[in-house]
Amino acid sequence: MPRSVELEVCELTKRYSQEVSVGPISFEVYEGEFFSLLGPSGCGKTTTLRCIAGFEELSQGSIKLRGERLDRKPPHRRDVGLVFQNYALFPHLTVFDNIAFGLKLRRLAKSEIAERVGRVLQLVDLADMAARFPAQLSGGQQQRVAIARSLVLEPRILMFDEPLSNLDFKLRTQMREDLRNLQRRLGKTSIYVTHDQTEALALSDRIAVLSHGRIEQIGTPSDIYERPATAFVAEFIGSSNMLRARIVEGGDSGMIVVTDAGLRLCCSLPANDEFDASEDVSILLRPERVQVETPRGGTSPGQNRVSARIADVTYLGEDLHLSVDLVSGDRLRASLKNANAARGWAPQQAVEIVIDAADIRLLRR
């Protein structure tokens, strides 16, 4: 089902000085989708957001909202709602007046304002807080007022600037779910900025991973996680084992790679990539895909088996993290669930590591 493009960012560039700049950045956001900008601090995600909102001027590039140039308009005439990191609620106004702020500027009738504010208060479940002041609300409630304040104006896009980072952990998880349900219910196109990959993975339809002012990869959460395009994405999202290796054989069904330490692994061909023989690559292997077994020998097709010794065990309650030294000298991290079979692993124990050929991901170096 073809979706229309709500927002188009084209070659967005913001230059701060000779050395520091963001962009060029290009991406599209489709109607109704939840789109995240994910990256470490300083990667340019907040700058991009502020450019869309109009608080920073572009050095180059363009931003289009449904085909109309947005970057030429002053910030108060753009149809995008922004929920600030510190909520930016007006301390001298009640919850009702905060939410009604934008409506009053549009000179709507009092009755209509009251109706719309009432409706949106119901939506965020704060109907009985209308007369309170922001200082009297909890962090989570303030957050909901901030969202309501932007929502009531029915903007084309709703943007969030790290809205959950000021909340404590439990509240964050709760708010995350509320946010997702709200967005799904309303179908409002949303752009979400965060440095927390769990949030991004849980909330988004698509994610753009940024680093040093550039986009590293855009894709669905599973794209990003399962098939990271660059080493940065691989290391930023989830944890992974990375080994340097070289392709020694290529074929229609798979490839053989040899790590610097001499370990031979066979991996199946990734769908769209083409590597040449003798090319230098990085091997990417997620710790949860590293299977640890007691030694029993024998190989199955499509599997790599390597002897190893456990170097270290870290007990984390739900998970078990193992450090294993392969016979080749490479060290791998394995992450196991604390199920029956995993109990009893101890350092110095001899084990066998099983790696499915399909779980090995190759990246160009």
Partner 1 sequence: MEGTGTRPIWTFLIGPYALFLLFLLVVPFANVAVYSFHPYSPTKVFLPELTLDNYTRLFDLYYGRLFVRTLRLGLITTVVCVVLGYPLAYFLARALPRVQALCLFLLIMPLMVSAVIRVFGWIVILGRKGLANQALAALGLEPVRLLYSETAVVIGLVNIFVPFMVLPIMASIERIPPSLEEAAQNLGANWYQMFWRTILPLSLPGLISGCLLVFSLSISAFVTPALMGNARERMVGQQIYDEVLVSFNWPGASSLALTLVLLTVGLMFCALFATRHASRREAAR
Partner 2 sequence: MSARSPRLLLPFVVVAYSGLLAPLVVVIAVSFGPSAAFEFPPRGLTLHWFEAFFASQAFVTAFFRVSLLVGLLSAALATVLGTSAALGLVRFRFFGREAVETFFLAPLLVPEILLGAALYLLYARLAIQASVWTLLWGHLVICTPYVIRSVTAGLVGLDPRLEEAAMSLGATRVQAFFKVTLPLLRSSLLSGAIFAFIISFSDINLALFLSGPESTSLPVHIFSQIQWQGDPTIAAASSLQIVIIGMLILLVQRIFRLRLIV
3-class secondary structure, 19:
coil
- Comparing C-alpha atoms, which of 34, 38, 27, 37 is closest to residue 64? 27
Segment lying near partner 1 (by CB under 8 A), choices 62-70, 87-95, 259-267, 357-365: 87-95
The conformation of residue 78, written as its DSSP 8-state character, comes to S
Q: Which residues contact 314 (CB under 8 A, 6 or more apart)?
A: 320, 321, 322
How many positions of this chain bind partner 2 (CB under 8 A)? Answer: 3
Q: Which does 67 bind (CB under 5 to 8 A by kind): partner 1, partner 2, none?
A: none
Contacting residue, 88, 171, 229, 258, with partner 1 by CB under 8 A: 88
- Please state, as a whole number, how many other Cβ atoms lie within 10 Å of the Cβ of residue 203: 23
Q: Interface residues for partner 1 in 100-119 (CB under 8 A)?
A: 101-102, 105-106
Burial class (CB in 10 A: 0-12, 13-18, 19+), 5: middle
The least CB distance from residue 281 to partner 2, in Å, is 45
Q: How far is the CB of 161 from partner 1 (least distance, A)?
A: 9
Beta-bridge partners for 322: 313, 334
Q: Which residues touch 30 (CB under 8 Å, ≥6 apart)?
A: 3, 4, 5, 6, 189
Q: Is 90 in the site for partner 2 (CB under 8 A)?
A: no
Please tell me the distance from the alpha carbon of residue 292 to that of residue 279, in angstroms, as a whole number.
Answer: 29
41 or 299: whose CB is closer to partner 1? 41
Binders of partner 2 among residues 15 to 74 (CB under 8 A) are: 55, 74
For partner 1, the closer CB: 149 or 206: 149
75 binds partner 2 (CB under 8 A): yes
| Nearer to partner 1 among residue 84 and residue 275 (C-beta) | 84
- Check if the beta carbon of residue 89 is closer than 8 Å to that of residue 146: yes
- Give contact residues for partner 2 (rule: CB under 8 A): 55, 74-75
Task: Provide the binding-site residues for partner 1, judged by CB under 8 A.
Answer: 53-55, 74-78, 80-82, 84-86, 88-92, 101-102, 105-106, 135, 149-150, 153
